[in-house]
Amino acid sequence: QQQVKQSPQSLIVQKGGISIINCAYENTAFDYFPWYQQFPGKGPALLIAIRPDVSEKKEGRFTISFNKSAKQFSLHIMDSQPGDSATYFCAAPGRNTGGFKTIFGAGTRLFVKA
Amino acid sequence: EAGVAQSPRYKIIEKRQSVAFWCNPISGHATLYWYQQILGQGPKLLIQFQNNGVVDDSQLPKDRFSAERLKGVDSTLKIQPAKLEDSAVYLCASSFFSSGRKNTGELFFGEGSRLTVL
């Protein structure tokens, strides 16, 4: 069973601090690595994604760092705000008979203290 | 652009009863997914459709779960009979395309249907 391992399970950060969430994957054939953000009572929504031909992608306060040799990628949230409090999921493609499916990590619950 | 629509938002049933969830994906999205999200866990893929064909149902408990996507648009997920461990949020998602050679990206999720089995 293909897996995506995410850590930490939960994270508490002071307002203005940096939040870092890590993810490890197994299959080297993957070519798309997204992070999804989920608020209570809502479905996950794409936050930021990276393809493995680059080592870093930045969008506003959110940055993905990608380490292909280590099969790891991480999400950095700079200047964390209380509104960032949510659950974050990394995901990676896995193969199925029809092509690709998206496998999610277990999630990281982030709480930003005001 | 309208998002992924799901109904009902909430459902409470007794064990051994049946329940059905409905999903209407974003117009033009060929790929539709049903995920199960148990409290405190990440979404787990139950079934993936490409148009009206099933491409992955390897984790669907077929003795009690069934799903269909008539005409390649709307989809229904049914549970019969329900067990206590089926209590979860059932998320429907769609994507524009998921080819055999390359993952083309973003999944768009609905708000989910929360099932409580008593």
Q: Residue B27's domain is classified under what CATH number?
A: 2.60.40.10
Residue B70, SS3 per DSSP:
helix
- Nearest by CB to residue A32, choosing from B58, B93, B103, is B103
Structural domain of B11: 5-117
pLDDT of residue B101: 47
Picking from B10, B90, B98, B103 by the largest number of A CB atoms within 10 A of its own CB, the best residue to mutate is B103
Count of CB atoms situated within 10 Å of the CB of B23: 25
Mean pLDDT in residue range B14-23: 98
Q: Using CA atoms in the order A82, A83, A87, A89, what is the torsion angle rounded to 10 degrees?
A: -120
pLDDT tens digit sequence for A36-68: 999 999 999 999 999 888 899 999 999 999 998
How many Å lie between the alpha carbon of B93 and the closest alpha carbon of chain A? Answer: 9
The percentage of residues in chain A with a pLDDT greater than 90, rounded to a whole number, is 69
pLDDT tens digit sequence for B27-78: 988 889 999 999 999 999 999 998 888 989 999 999 999 999 988 899 999 9
Residue A37: partners with Cβ closer than 8 Å, 6 or more residues away: A44, A45, A47, A86, A87, A88, A89
Q: Which residue of A has its CA nearest to B49?
A: A98
Q: Using CA atoms in the order B86, A1, A90, A64, what is the torsion angle rounded to 10 degrees?
A: 180
CB-based contact B101 A98, cutoff 8 Å: no
Q: Which residue of A has its CA nearest to B108?
A: A45
CATH tag for A4-113 (out of 2.60.40.1930, 2.60.40.10, 1.10.3720.10, 3.40.50.360) = 2.60.40.10
What's the total number of domains in chain B?
1
How many Å lie between the alpha carbon of A24 and the closest alpha carbon of chain B? Answer: 15
